[in-house]
Amino acid sequence: MILGKVIKRTAIQSEYRDFVDKYIEHVLSEFKGKIHSIYMCGSIPKGTAKPFQSDADFTIVCVNPKDIDYERLSNIKNRILKEYPLITKIDTTICSIDDVLSKPNEWGFWVKIICVCLYGHDVGEKVPPILISPAFILDLNTETKKEVDRIHRLLSNASDNTMRTRYIKGYSKRLFRALYSLVLEDTGVWQDDIHKMKNAILDYCEIDSALIDDLYACYLDTNVDVEEFLGVADEVYRYFENALNTMAASRTSDG
């Protein structure tokens, strides 16, 4: 089964068009000639963004990610956020053209399936069709442990309530995406709505439903206790890691 694109048509709402155009204009001006293409994912390109609730997710593809200085990029984000307070935050992912083409089940998946191209030539069009399979699911989760460890560490050390809330939401999302990847062979489509992900996980994963409900409640609750959340998150990740290891072992024995 071939995995289809999440956003089939770009439908940016009128109140967000100036923001998107301004961000892209500033990035291109700051990093002249160093950017191949710019993409978005999430609610803004889908046309479902909510003012003062939704964030903005960009991806920059370039020849060499080291050409994109994060401090200069952060300065652009800060200026734009002051000008457009309806955006809660701006996240920008940076990768190389080689990343996209040489890692089709990781970066290729991200650019081809999750994102839509807003500037430049869409390198995702050069990524071969992505087949849903155990090999794809394993490749997709190559960096999951590293990312989970990173955000776990950031959350444990966060002293600011705003940052704690952001990390909890980000951690929850990462876990839901990881669990959802396990049921792709059952659903046949990638889902980026957390509520729909949750329902599919409950339908197809052999995980304690109360644990998933607790994780979802933590995702929604801006005042959840950090230790309480980490207890739930750690248990969810243990289930995911065991399921992924079982999948890898089964693939090895079959091969």
- Report pLDDT digits (tens) over 200-253: 999 999 999 999 999 999 999 878 899 999 999 999 999 999 999 999 998 776
Same domain, yes or no: 147 and 249: yes
Of 131, 150, 165, which closes a domain?
131
Summarised one tens digit per residue, pLDDT across range 41-64 is 999 999 999 999 899 999 999 999
Long-range Cβ pairs for the range 239-242 (8 Å, 24+): 239/179, 239/205, 239/207, 239/211, 240/144, 240/175, 240/178, 240/179, 240/182, 241/145
* Predicted local confidence at residue 254, as pLDDT: 63
* Predicted local confidence at residue 253, as pLDDT: 66
Domain that holds residue 164: 138-254
Of 103, 131, 159, which closes a domain?
131
> What does the alpha-carbon distance between residue 18 and residue 87 come to, in Å, rounded to a whole number?
12
Same domain, yes or no: 49 and 115: yes
Same domain, yes or no: 73 and 111: yes
> What does the alpha-carbon distance between residue 226 and residue 90 come to, in Å, rounded to a whole number?
23
DSSP 2: B
Number of domains forming the structure of the chain: 2
pLDDT > 90 in the chain, percent: 84
* Predicted local confidence at residue 159, as pLDDT: 85
What radius of gyration, in Å, describes the C-alpha atoms of the chain?
19
> What does the alpha-carbon distance between residue 31 and residue 73 come to, in Å, rounded to a whole number?
9
Same domain, yes or no: 164 and 102: no
Task: Say whether pLDDT at 255 is over 70.
Answer: no
> What does the alpha-carbon distance between residue 209 and residue 215 come to, in Å, rounded to a whole number?
10
- Average confidence (pLDDT) over 89-109: 95
**Torsion angle, CA of 238/243/201/107, rounded to 10 degrees?**
90
User: What's the predicted TM-score (pTM) here?
Assistant: 0.86
Average pLDDT, the chain: 93
* Predicted local confidence at residue 251, as pLDDT: 77
Q: Report which of residues 83 and 162 the model is more confident about.
A: 83
